[in-house]
A and B are shown apart, each in its own frame.
Chain A
Amino acid sequence: MKRFKMGGVHPKENKLSAGKQIVEATLPKQVVIPLVQSLGAPGQSVVAVGDVVKVGQLIVKAGGFVSANIHSSVSGKISAIGTTIDASGYNVPAVFIEVEGDEWLKTIDRTNDLKRECNLSSEEIIKTITDAGIVGMGGATFPTHVKLSPPPGKKADVLIINAVECEPYLTCDHQLMLEKPLEILVGVTILMKAAKVTKAYIGIENNKKDAIELLKQTARSFTGIEIVPLRVQYPQGGEKQLIDAVIGRQIPSGALPVEVGAVVQNVATAFAVYEAIQKHKPLIDRVITITGKSIKSHGNYRVRLGTPMNSVVEQVGGIPEDTGKIISGGPMMGKALKTLEVPVVKGTSGILFIPTFAATRKNMQNCIRCAKCVVDCPMGLEPFLLMSQGERSMWTEMEKDRVMDCIECGICSYTCPSNRPLLDYIRLGKTTVGKIIRNRQAKK
């Protein structure tokens, strides 16, 4: 079975919510829609306080090419345009909408009928995806239309669908594949057309055997789509690792996937594309996993974007008593939250509760140079070295030792027997070196 070639670990999977039906979450009283929900330039709000909006109506216009539209996920009245707290704990501008009823735009097809045929051209598809505000839903939130429009002179020859879900605990993509296989495959066909490729691979880790089987059967009626089972190994869902695992091409340092002729899209993105093209539904909701060892009813929920997390969590019985840490996303790369007032956004893949005893890190000890971090690093870096450079602010040396190649998968900190916070300092180094590089380029 295929896997990526360098490093990697296999953390405990803890897929507690696997096999739980996707449940429609109840509408909250108020939604909070941050103006920035994707990588790139912040958007411009096109509504004013007091406006009445319907589900699917555009409320934030993209602020540039690398940026995405945001639509209202509920119907109701704009109550305020102010600031809210984001997953990083900083205040960000946001639109507040009081929910009144659930009135959708007339153009949106809300039936469950499958619509397979798509007669749009590549440009038209990309235009629709742009309008629908679709971004990479694996967590990186890179606007999808940017990925589908390769820079001039470059051409992709293969589309890879990321259905790996290598993060422990998370099951939202898995469940989506089980419930909507046809829709996903139609979405993949549309993406193939948009990217002008004839071959698509869907990479799925082998711990989702039911999804592999189901998709393999369903894919027989589609041309050019191949399901690739992968050996379970974190971080297989990383773009570079996935391309290496599925088609055995390694992206050079600093280059885009299209350099090796590949376009990677998340499986949830493929579903969103299906909805946008065939059902005219912009990206207004997504499936998230609510899980953790301490909560009773973990499950997969379809949540309107902008719903405050505590409103969703209340539906599963509130915050468990001994919670020490709440994480937006998975345990390896997710962000620890300060508060549950944070809204669900396009990149939120789950809410994970970790009990207090498991939330505190153990004391750091001396590096014993066991080289675990070097051996397990999927990018072939030397985390121990980068950390000590980070502690000493040796940014030039860090850049030379290729800190910018780091994908922040967290394996180094995960695997270190001395509990050293390797990634903390490497991430600091990435931010600082990134600034230095941008300044240098600005001078040129």
Chain B
Amino acid sequence: MNIVFVSVFILGLWGALSALVLYFTSKKFNFPTNPLIAEVEAVLPAVNCGGCGQASCHGFAVACVKSNSLHNMVCTVGGKSIMEDVASILGKTANPVIPTVAVVRCGGSCELRPHINQFGGASSCAVVHNLYGGETGCSWGCIGLGDCVEPCKFDAIKINPETLLPEISDNKCTSCNACVTACPKGIIELRNLGEPAHKIYVNCVAKDSGVADSCAVACNGCEKCVEVCEDKAINMIGQLVYIDSTFCTLCGKCVSVCPTNAIVEKK
């Protein structure tokens, strides 16, 4: 029995000693932090998506606490409700948040935009973009190898195996911007969500009129939509029309007038 007591005693003593050392080191090297940071961090979604521009949610909490106003500080994931929580903790006023959602601006599915060659290299949009125009006749549109799928931390984006285009589920998308930066063609854009998930946008990014030969849903730059729009929300950028979502009132006139169905309305 003696050996049991001795072991328990020695180990216990060792434990106590270690605890003391830990206690004093934590006292000695204690780094005072603002308790507000922890409070703010607790409200944040803790996904570290980077949509706010900070590397992590902790970084965003620090930035919120440090800055004088919450102007331009938006947690895209949490949106309005979380920013109001943050504001009430800090006693500042929250920025009005216009909810946005990522939109893939290419409608060139396999049928409408036939593949004219086959890519045989590494399965990455960036590699294709670096090499050549792509498997279809359009060198502007979606490549379909899914560089945008992997960075999405919310499982909101998937490649449809039939159309080979990415599809974004609006209720999962937090508009964190990860897919926007991942897309080498710059097809994905953050747009205002609109009244319950209602949006109208040009589903094409081809800035060259020759694309009409290779894609049935390309914008051909006919400007009919520009004429019909009463809100002056539609502008020409080169050969391409662009609908500015801040002015668009979702009247839907441009959708019906578009000869190639390049403008889409999604509810």
Of B121, B126, B133, B208, the contact of A89 (CB 8 Å cutoff): B133
User: Cβ of B1 < 8 Å from any Cβ of A?
Assistant: no
Chain A residues 321-340 with CB under 8 Å of chain B are: 325, 338
Contact B130 A88 (CB under 8 A): no
Contact A425 B139 (CB under 8 A): no
When distances are taken between beta carbons in the complex, the residues of chain B under 8 Å from A357 are none
Of A90, A359, A391, A421, the contact of B133 (CB 8 Å cutoff): A90
When distances are taken between beta carbons in the complex, the residues of chain A under 8 Å from B122 are 364, 421, 424-425
Bound complex: CA of A150 vs CA of B85, how far in Å?
66
When distances are taken between beta carbons in the complex, the residues of chain A under 8 Å from B132 are 88-90, 338
Encode contact with A along B108-127: 1 for CB under 8 Å, 0 otherwise. Answer: 00000000110011101011
When distances are taken between beta carbons in the complex, the residues of chain A under 8 Å from B133 are 88-90, 338
User: Cβ of A198 < 8 Å from any Cβ of B?
Assistant: no
Among A83, A361, A421, A424, the one with the most B-chain Cβ atoms within 10 Å of its Cβ is A424
Contact A89 B127 (CB under 8 A): no
Q: Shortest CB–CB separation between residue A370 and chain B, in angstroms?
A: 19
User: Cβ of B131 < 8 Å from any Cβ of A?
Assistant: yes
Q: Shortest CB–CB separation between residue B193 and chain A, in angstroms?
A: 29
Of A88, A90, A360, A425, the contact of B127 (CB 8 Å cutoff): A425
User: Cβ of B210 < 8 Å from any Cβ of A?
Assistant: yes
When distances are taken between beta carbons in the complex, the residues of chain B under 8 Å from A91 are 139, 208, 210
When distances are taken between beta carbons in the complex, the residues of chain B under 8 Å from A391 are 124
Closest B-chain residue to A431, C-beta based? B130
Chain B residues 123-151 with CB under 8 Å of chain A are: 124, 126-127, 130-134, 139
Bound complex: CA of A90 vs CA of B211, how far in Å?
12
When distances are taken between beta carbons in the complex, the residues of chain B under 8 Å from A421 are 121-122, 127
Contact A361 B117 (CB under 8 A): no
Chain B residues 209-232 with CB under 8 Å of chain A are: 210
When distances are taken between beta carbons in the complex, the residues of chain B under 8 Å from A361 are 120-121
Of A89, A364, A431, the contact of B139 (CB 8 Å cutoff): A89
Contact B120 A424 (CB under 8 A): no
Among B122, B124, B210, the one with the most A-chain Cβ atoms within 10 Å of its Cβ is B122
Contact A428 B126 (CB under 8 A): yes
Closest A-chain residue to B147, C-beta based? A393
User: Cβ of A427 < 8 Å from any Cβ of B?
Assistant: yes
Q: Shortest CB–CB separation between residue B125 and chain A, in angstroms?
A: 10
Contact B116 A338 (CB under 8 A): yes
Bound complex: CA of A361 vs CA of B139, how far in Å?
23
Contact A88 B121 (CB under 8 A): no
Bound complex: CA of A325 vs CA of B132, how far in Å?
15
Chain A residues 409-444 with CB under 8 Å of chain B are: 421, 424-425, 427-428, 431
Encode contact with B along A353-375: 1 for CB under 8 Å, 0 otherwise. Answer: 00000011100100000000000
Bound complex: CA of A335 vs CA of B92, how far in Å?
59
Bound complex: CA of A325 vs CA of B120, how far in Å?
10
When distances are taken between beta carbons in the complex, the residues of chain A under 8 Å from B134 are 89
When distances are taken between beta carbons in the complex, the residues of chain A under 8 Å from B139 are 89-91
Closest A-chain residue to B210, C-beta based? A91
Chain A residues 56-85 with CB under 8 Å of chain B are: 83
Encode contact with A along B154-191: 1 for CB under 8 Å, 0 otherwise. Answer: 00000000000000000000000000000000000000
Contact A428 B120 (CB under 8 A): no
Q: Shortest CB–CB separation between residue B9 and chain A, in angstroms?
A: 51
Contact B121 A424 (CB under 8 A): yes
When distances are taken between beta carbons in the complex, the residues of chain A under 8 Å from B130 are 427-428, 431
State whether A359 and B121 are in contact (beta carbons under 8 Å apart), knowing that A88-B131, A424-B127, A425-B127 are contacts in the complex: no
Bound complex: CA of A88 vs CA of B126, how far in Å?
15
When distances are taken between beta carbons in the complex, the residues of chain B under 8 Å from A425 are 122, 124, 127
When distances are taken between beta carbons in the complex, the residues of chain B under 8 Å from A360 are 120
Bound complex: CA of A91 vs CA of B134, how far in Å?
12
Bound complex: CA of A338 vs CA of B134, how far in Å?
9
Closest B-chain residue to A428, C-beta based? B130
Q: Shortest CB–CB separation between residue A53 and chain B, in angstroms?
A: 26
Q: Shortest CB–CB separation between residue A70 and chain B, in angstroms?
A: 23
Bound complex: CA of A184 vs CA of B126, how far in Å?
43
Closest A-chain residue to B137, C-beta based? A338
Q: Shortest CB–CB separation between residue B116 and chain A, in angstroms?
A: 7
Bound complex: CA of A325 vs CA of B118, how far in Å?
10
Bound complex: CA of A312 vs CA of B120, how far in Å?
26
Closest A-chain residue to B134, C-beta based? A89
Closest B-chain residue to A421, C-beta based? B122
Bound complex: CA of A38 vs CA of B185, how far in Å?
26
Q: Shortest CB–CB separation between residue B119 and chain A, in angstroms?
A: 9
Q: Shortest CB–CB separation between residue A291 and chain B, in angstroms?
A: 20
Closest B-chain residue to A427, C-beta based? B130
Bound complex: CA of A381 vs CA of B134, how far in Å?
29
Encode contact with A along B39-60: 1 for CB under 8 Å, 0 otherwise. Answer: 0000000000000000000000
Contact A428 B210 (CB under 8 A): no
When distances are taken between beta carbons in the complex, the residues of chain B under 8 Å from A90 are 132-133, 139
Bound complex: CA of A421 vs CA of B145, how far in Å?
15
Chain A residues 272-317 with CB under 8 Å of chain B are: none
Bound complex: CA of A421 vs CA of B116, how far in Å?
23
When distances are taken between beta carbons in the complex, the residues of chain A under 8 Å from B208 are 91
The residues of B with any CB-CB pair to A shorter than 8 Å are: 116-117, 120-122, 124, 126-127, 130-134, 139, 208, 210
9 examples of A-B residue contacts, CB within 8 angstroms: A90-B132, A90-B139, A338-B116, A338-B117, A338-B132, A364-B122, A424-B124, A427-B131, A431-B130
